[in-house]
Structure 1
């Protein structure tokens, strides 16, 4: 087993066929092999699905190394297990086959919580090779792995990287009158907070700009919620990269959940990268 593999879940549906085509393209970009995973109650049911998928890949990419895994049980468990040593795991969004029921409902979101490495969920109808920009949704410094992956993906594609950092409007409580005069040195708390928030993308990206000088980067801070801003950006993007966050509302009440929105409504494929 090697991490120089792209794993893809197949179940014979149109959605999984699109995921298969994307995965083959990503394997070529990564210089990796392709591992096809089909989960079924009985392994024998997976054999014809895997055979058809292998034939499609070999017809389109004769030199690509392909392996197959027929797994017993649920798709989430099988793909999470196979993702442990993968460079990338790829799935579709609307698997409907009786064999696996791959990614019905919230399965893509459940898988995003369990994979050890990057997960690509194929959404939208953009062709795999279309020259569009890569979008990175940057929340804070815990998104370092997602940022690195986005830079590398942009370099692999020869594409521009657009970094979106959301700064939604926050209500700032007015300061109480000071007991001692501070005339001449007052500070606007809202303005100070804004400067800190806008510094996040510049601070987080400085080292990566130096590390990837050949990747053109545009960093933008927007005044809307992160899901809303990223969802709009996906209309013209090749793909969007986000970090996985498992915070509770008590820990971060101002952070709207990004992954569920994008995994269900994005106009382009979504890559979810687990935090370190």
Structure 2
């Protein structure tokens, strides 16, 4: 095989070596059942948005670039052929489900998380499954998901929970609200609720001591504290409520155990939305906040992470 043919193996996707697309839905696949669920969700999202769908398989899924896989031409070509099959099978599945979609297939030799973050920067939405097939693959998938969550520059949808596509929905989008930084997540939640014909359930996670305990305060001071905390979700969601006045809203405040409360609330939600709070700036280390970590591992429904800005 010539060097040119060898190079073309890595340029399987028309957009793989070049700059990312823009305004599309990006989904990462690895051939697992969870990736198939993510693919179904991504196809639905692309269809609603009237946007192209880019299906990405980074080979190896959590590898270390081209240099790590050049141990032998025969093994390399066989593995690339397998990677192509993953993409072709994914494309065939989508074409049966949504034949009207424009599909771009991208095969990349770069590490999966880095490539998903890079190509997701200009996407309207990036979609990932939450686990792989088997114990070792589950750890691998979780690592990729956490790394993308820690570095995403555009909304990321992580498909979790046991609900299958086509099953009845709860009619509720859950959003975690702590302060005004969560305004973007609130807007995303309202947009999703409007699209789904449901309501927004805003769970305000307070950083202040609960009105029934914590600090020794008078009844009057306790009321002031409670009123002040109640104003936080109203102010944070003001822009979203103004833009979507027809979307119903329920607001509850959690004074302690915010992460556990969000996980429990996700049992009766179709989607949980939180802000992607990168603790040490945008990077590919596992630097996600406690709420993000809890929901990505334990939520009972899909989770959307919305970056600040």
TM value normalised by structure 1: 0.85
Within the alignment, does 1:83 sit opposite 2:120 as a pair? Answer: yes
Residue 126 of structure 2 aligns to a residue whose secondary structure is strand
Q: Any idea what the Cα deviations from partners look like across 1:25-55, whole Å, max 9, x if unmatched?
A: 1111222111000011465442110000000
User: Cα distance, 1:218 vs. partner?
Assistant: 1.4
The answer for the alignment partner of 2:303 in structure 1 is 270
Paired with 1:28 and 1:105, the residues of 2 have a C-alpha distance of 27
The answer for the alignment partner of 2:37 in structure 1 is 18
**Equivalent residues of 1:88, 1:118 under 8 A apart:** yes
Distance change >3 Å, CA 114–CA 168, structure 1 → 2: closer
Within the alignment, does 1:62 sit opposite 2:94 as a pair? Answer: no
Residue 267 of structure 1 aligns to a residue whose secondary structure is coil
RMSD over aligned Cα atoms? 2.4
The answer for the alignment partner of 2:194 in structure 1 is 155
The answer for the alignment partner of 2:164 in structure 1 is 127
**Equivalent residues of 1:131, 1:159 under 8 A apart:** no
Residue 121 of structure 2 aligns to a residue whose secondary structure is helix
The answer for the alignment partner of 1:140 in structure 2 is 179
Structure 2: give runs of 5+ residues left out of the alignment.
1-19, 61-75, 281-288
**Equivalent residues of 2:201, 2:249 under 8 A apart:** yes
**Equivalent residues of 1:240, 1:268 under 8 A apart:** yes
The answer for the alignment partner of 1:113 in structure 2 is 150
User: Cα distance, 1:216 vs. partner?
Assistant: 1.5
| Higher mean displacement: 194-203 or 52-61 | 194-203
Residue 256 of structure 2 aligns to a residue whose secondary structure is coil
Paired with 1:103 and 1:134, the residues of 2 have a C-alpha distance of 29
Paired with 1:118 and 1:264, the residues of 2 have a C-alpha distance of 18
Residue 191 of structure 2 aligns to a residue whose secondary structure is helix
Q: Any idea what the Cα deviations from partners look like across 1:151-193, whole Å, max 9, x if unmatched?
A: 1111111111111102367265558xxxxxxxxxx88444332
Distance change >3 Å, CA 206–CA 230, structure 1 → 2: same
Paired with 1:207 and 1:269, the residues of 2 have a C-alpha distance of 24
User: Cα distance, 1:127 vs. partner?
Assistant: 2.6
Residue 63 of structure 1 aligns to a residue whose secondary structure is coil
User: Cα distance, 1:105 vs. partner?
Assistant: 3.3
User: Cα distance, 1:240 vs. partner?
Assistant: 0.4
Paired with 1:207 and 1:169, the residues of 2 have a C-alpha distance of 24
Q: Any idea what the Cα deviations from partners look like across 1:30-86, whole Å, max 9, x if unmatched?
A: 221110000114654421100000000001111111111101032101111110110
TM value normalised by structure 2: 0.76
Structure 2 residue corresponding to 1:27, chosen from 46, 50, 57: 46
Q: Any idea what the Cα deviations from partners look like across 1:127-172, whole Å, max 9, x if unmatched?
A: 3343321111111101111111111111111111111102367265
The answer for the alignment partner of 2:57 in structure 1 is 38
User: Cα distance, 1:195 vs. partner?
Assistant: 1.8
Paired with 1:66 and 1:34, the residues of 2 have a C-alpha distance of 5
Structure 2 residue corresponding to 1:199, chosen from 208, 231, 242: 231
Within the alignment, does 1:235 sit opposite 2:272 as a pair? Answer: no
The answer for the alignment partner of 1:179 in structure 2 is none
User: Cα distance, 1:213 vs. partner?
Assistant: 1.6
| Higher mean displacement: 204-213 or 157-166 | 204-213
